[in-house]
Amino acid sequence: MRNMLRLSVLSAAATITIPLAVAAPATASAPPANVPKGAVQVKVTKIVAGDLVEVVPTRGATFRVRLLSIATPKRGQCFSNPAFARTKALLPIGKIAYLLRDRTPKDSAGNRLAYVWGGTGVFVNQNLVRGGWARVVNHAPNVKYRDLLRSEQAKAQRAKLGVWSVQCAPKPQVDPRFRTCKDANAKGYGPYRRGVDPEYAWYQDRDGDGIVCEPR
């Protein structure tokens, strides 16, 4: 009888101590070496746009963060989907990220303004600009990484990446097409130059001077 009572007491103690161990608060993990001092750890909860994310801090309510000094294409614009996908890959939902403020805490819409690093230490603002997923914009007086981001943008432009690619280049505006140059001139259009104006190919260059539809 005594042995049975002792086993019951030990079993009850075990059921009490196990939940207490599980309920212990988690400690914040140390950031990667290249995350700057002063950056705040958060958890990513949603990617709203290529340059706008939703996060929750270790303690406190969820809020939205606008990535400082950059802008990704808006929905429907050239390269908007790849830019959104890139941000989602750099900042996976449920994973840790790090935020660093500059001088202005919020934008006019109430979003927090910050430079963002992923959990592996990738500087997200820089990565988006370097790959052509985003352009550099002026968020003065927030200029902490302005020169770095402009340098990265120049590299993307030279390589014609993303928003700087031929795919995203503005389409040239063309004039209406007429049956003859005389009709075009009557409506106030022309002249058109070879290698410059796409309308040149529509008309016959009789004198071979590289210009068509010269007003008479």
- Domain range spanning residue 201? 181-212
Whole-number pLDDT of residue 137: 96
Would you list the DSSP string of 77-117? STTHHHHHHHHHHHS-TTSEEEEE--S--B-TTS-EEEEEE
Do 77 and 155 lie in one domain? The reply is yes
Residues 159 and 197 in one domain: no
Q: Is residue 10 part of a domain?
A: no
Give per-residue pLDDT as tens, 40-85: 999 999 999 999 999 999 999 999 999 999 999 999 999 999 999 9
Q: What is the DSSP letter of 76?
A: T
Together in a domain, 201 and 99: no
Q: Report the C-alpha gap between 115 and 75 in whole angstroms.
A: 22
Same domain for 191 and 162? no
Sign of CA dihedral 21, 23, 24, 26: positive
Q: Residue 31: which of 127, 144, 123, 149 has the closest Cα?
A: 123
Residues 113 and 207 in one domain: no
Give the total number of structural domains in the chain: 2
Identify whether 176 is part of a domain. no
104 and 189 in one domain?
no
Q: Is the pTM of this model over 0.75?
A: no
Binned at pLDDT 50, 70 and 90, residue 15 comes out as very low
> 3-state DSSP call for residue 137?
coil
